[in-house]
Amino acid sequence: MQPTTYSGNFTSCDDLPGVATWSGLGGSTGSAPVNGQSYNLGAPGQTITFNYTPADQNKYIGFTSTVPMDYIVVKGGNAYNVFQYDPAALSDINLFAPINSSGEPAGISHVVYCFLPKPTGEKTAVASWKRYTDWQIDKTVTPDNIVMFDGDSHQVEYTVTATPTTRGMYRVAGTITVKDPFGFGWKGTAVVDTMQFNNSATQFQLSWTLQGGDTDTLACVKPAANPDKIILTCDYAFDLSSNTHPFLLNASGGVNAAGITSERNGGTYTFVASAAFSIPANPAESYGDTFVIDDSMLPGDPNHSFSLGNGPYVWTYPRPSPFVCGADEGQHNNTATGTWSTSASTNATASDSATVTVACRTVAISKTAQTRYDRDYAWVPDKHVVVSPADAKVVGMQGCLPDPIASGIYAGNFLCDDVDVLLNVGGNYETVYRLAATRSTESESGFAVSGSIMVTWPADATPQFSPADPSDTLHFAGGGTQSVSPTCDPQGATSLNCTYDAALNGKLEGYNEASIQRVLKCYDAAGNASDCGFKSYTSNQAALVYGSPNVETDACVQVSDLFNGIPGLNLGDTFGWQVSPLMCSSFAQYVTGDINPDPGIVNSLDLFAAWILPSQTGPGNTCEFMVPNLLTLATDNGVNKSDEAVITVNVPELCATTGCTYTQGYWKTHSKYGPAPYDSTWAAIGEDTLFFASGQTWYKVFWTPPKGGNAYYILAHQYMAARLNAEAGAGAPSEVQAAIAEATAWFIGRSTTAPKGPARDTAIRLAGILGAYNEGTTGPGHCSVSPATIIDGGGDS
């Protein structure tokens, strides 16, 4: 090192320039030291030895000492060099005196050594850290709101996101030891320990002072005298968190330096003891390295775990089974709970929930059923004469009902089709008739059912139907079914509207039921749907209920009642009365013949012997006339139905004539089968003779009603009566003879099936011609003498 040169003489450490009184120790060699000469420094073992280098000269000298030297002063010539050591040194070489005129160091005259034994300090610094990781959890679900139809299913996907937050707890700790190695009486008075990391300018300090007090942040102890000359020991620890000092996460180490202040005899000495430290790559302890998740929906624990450093920290998984509408409607809350360690014996938890709302919709189907049908009624007229067996004028009763009238003003009398009375010339017989008709259902047809089918659903869902339209089935009592094909409008936003109309094979009881099939949908978590089956929806059972028919034929009849007679009698040629103009139900009422001002009532009818025509009297005649009274029901289809009651009046005192005609009612009742007395005219034809190709006898055809207006039987009845009248001797005009011939040709080879079209028109025309003949309108006239023909308004039965 380079010395400082001073002129003059130098004898002791007190002569040190700028030092004044030297507080330390020292000594002088007094003369030039001998090479290798040692000097005692005041304590056993404490020496300083000088050596020339090289040994054979006296200009350059060195030393070795057991006590550090602060100054070495080398005197030579008229000046001296001061070598100052800071810090104090235990050795040095090539020390010399000032340069003299020779240009070389002067020869050494003597050497002074000055030393002040100082305290020493040393410290340790050990860094360690602990890692703490805290976790947050967030749970979501996709989708979280589901709307679907009953029976559909929807998968959802849960996502659990774990977010770690790591903090480090860093500690730099060690000891600070202060010694007075030479027992020089030093005391430690203050310590300031400063720590700085290598990636931050921030410094952290702990301090201690001799005075102590609340301001001390460093714990130091002054030990008792000890062999190691330790005068102060301090234990320190810096505990720092990366939450407060984020740079710690990236620090790799630093320096810890203790500034030590010592005191001796009022003087102080401050020095530094330093120690570098390194932060280990791995923490001494680590907590929260693993985040273990238990899910309330999943079986078993744990269900998933994350390890610190293996991010991203996201766990996605589907629900073990999809939500199914019906079983899973409502809210479904699911919680994921994560657990991590916070110390060797403690844990912390965090949880979050996700909720799925499942709303279920359904399809409703309803239907109506309205039946309709047509009804055709059949009417059976019934005309009887009220007869008292006790009446002496009554000499015969035919076609009588077995039981007498039970009650009313005619109680005890009988109802008969034909009555024979006996009168004297000028005598009379008072008559009472019962007019009746029975209405029954002849046939029902045109059965059908119609209605609507309504399929509805909420506006926030759209169903897919397969097939697109509903099926409709009629179910009948007994197990039969019938399929119906509805007609539907295009599917709307919330409904499908259909109508149907189907014919029925009769008045069938049962119900009508519709159903529609929807395609089940299975949705994945992204909302993509796939077909996964079918679900059927069934409507109400709409009963097949039959009310009144829609169309009624012959529900009502026009009723007329008249006498079939000839003009000239005392009652005139139009004697008749109205029972009721229109009858719509079965009826029965009693009437008599005299006209009352009330148009609905006839009080009495007397039959007079004087009514017999003069032409019917005389030798060889029958002295008999008939009073046939006909009840006629006019139906909608133009076919009249009638029934006749006949009173035969015998006046033995007079003579009857022949050559007259009888109606079909006479001939059908005067066969050998009765019930009226037999007319032998039948023998000319025979009641059991087959009537053309009908497969029936003449008698059977007479008693077969023209059901539904069958023109075959309408003509047959008039034809047979005309044939029998002709056989009985009644003259027939030419047009009647032509009609009989044409009718004969019409019947040949024809079945009894009701004719239609021109064939029916021909039959009705011929029946009209022959009927006029049989009833006396044309030809020789009717065989009875009666009031003039009248029309009686009938009623419904």
pLDDT at 615: 60
| pTM > 0.75: yes or no | no
Beta strands at 529-538 and 471-476: parallel, antiparallel or unpaired: unpaired
Measured distance CA(434)–CA(420) in Å, rounded: 17
For residues 782 and 476, the model is more confident at 476
**Exposed (0-12), middle (13-18) or buried (19+): which is 540, by Cβ within 10 Å?**
middle
| Confidence check: pLDDT of 605 > 90 | no
Tell me the average pLDDT across 451-466: 97
pLDDT at 797: 22
Each residue of 492-521: pLDDT tens digit? 999 999 999 999 999 999 999 999 999 999
Instruction: Point out which residues pair with 259 in neighbouring strands.
Output: 192, 272
Each residue of 640-655: pLDDT tens digit? 888 888 888 877 766 5
Structure tokens at 653: 């005192």
Tell me the average pLDDT across 138-156: 97
Asked if residue 707 lies in contact with residue 763, where contact means CB atoms within 8 angstroms, the answer is: no
3-state secondary structure of 506: coil
Tell me the average pLDDT across 125-152: 97
Beta strands at 314-318 and 157-179: parallel, antiparallel or unpaired: antiparallel
Q: Of 787, 350, 368, nearest to 605 (Cα)?
A: 787
Instruction: Point out which residues pair with 276 in neighbouring strands.
Output: 255
557, containing H or E segment: strand 557-563
Measured distance CA(717)–CA(767) in Å, rounded: 8
pLDDT at 16: 93
Confidence of residue 792 (pLDDT cuts 50, 70, 90): very low
Confidence of residue 621 (pLDDT cuts 50, 70, 90): low
| Confidence check: pLDDT of 567 > 50 | no
| Average pLDDT along the chain | 89
pLDDT at 135: 97
Measured distance CA(465)–CA(517) in Å, rounded: 6
Each residue of 20-46: pLDDT tens digit? 788 899 999 999 999 999 999 988 889
Each residue of 674-713: pLDDT tens digit? 998 899 899 999 999 999 999 999 999 999 999 999 999 9
pLDDT at 624: 74
Dihedral angle sign, alpha carbons of residues 597, 599, 605, 610: positive
| Confidence check: pLDDT of 594 > 50 | no
Quote the DSSP letter at residue 492: -
For residues 561 and 59, the model is more confident at 59
Question: How many C-beta atoms surround the C-beta of residue 642 within 10 A?
Answer: 18
| Confidence check: pLDDT of 566 > 50 | no
Task: Identify the structural domains of the chain with CATH numbers, from first to last.
Answer: 4-117 (no CATH), 119-361 (no CATH), 443-520+531-543 (2.60.40), 661-781 (no CATH)
Tell me the average pLDDT across 516-541: 97
DSSP letter for each residue of 277-324: EE--SS-SEEE--EEEEEETTSSSS--EEEETTS---EEEEE-SS-EE
pLDDT at 301: 86
Confidence of residue 790 (pLDDT cuts 50, 70, 90): very low
| Confidence check: pLDDT of 383 > 50 | yes
Tell me the average pLDDT across 111-126: 95
Measured distance CA(109)–CA(28) in Å, rounded: 11
For residues 43 and 154, the model is more confident at 154
Tell me the average pLDDT across 60-75: 96
For residues 183 and 594, the model is more confident at 183
Asked if residue 429 lies in contact with residue 611, where contact means CB atoms within 8 angstroms, the answer is: no
| Confidence check: pLDDT of 96 > 80 | yes
Instruction: Give residues with Cβ within 8 angstroms of 613, minimum separation 6.
Output: 566, 625, 657, 785
Asked if residue 30 lies in contact with residue 39, where contact means CB atoms within 8 angstroms, the answer is: no
Tell me the average pLDDT across 776-790: 55
Tell me the average pLDDT across 295-300: 92
Worst-scoring range by mean pLDDT, 99-108, 356-365, 590-599? Answer: 590-599
From residue 441, alpha-carbon distances to 379, 583, 639 in Å are 9, 15, 17
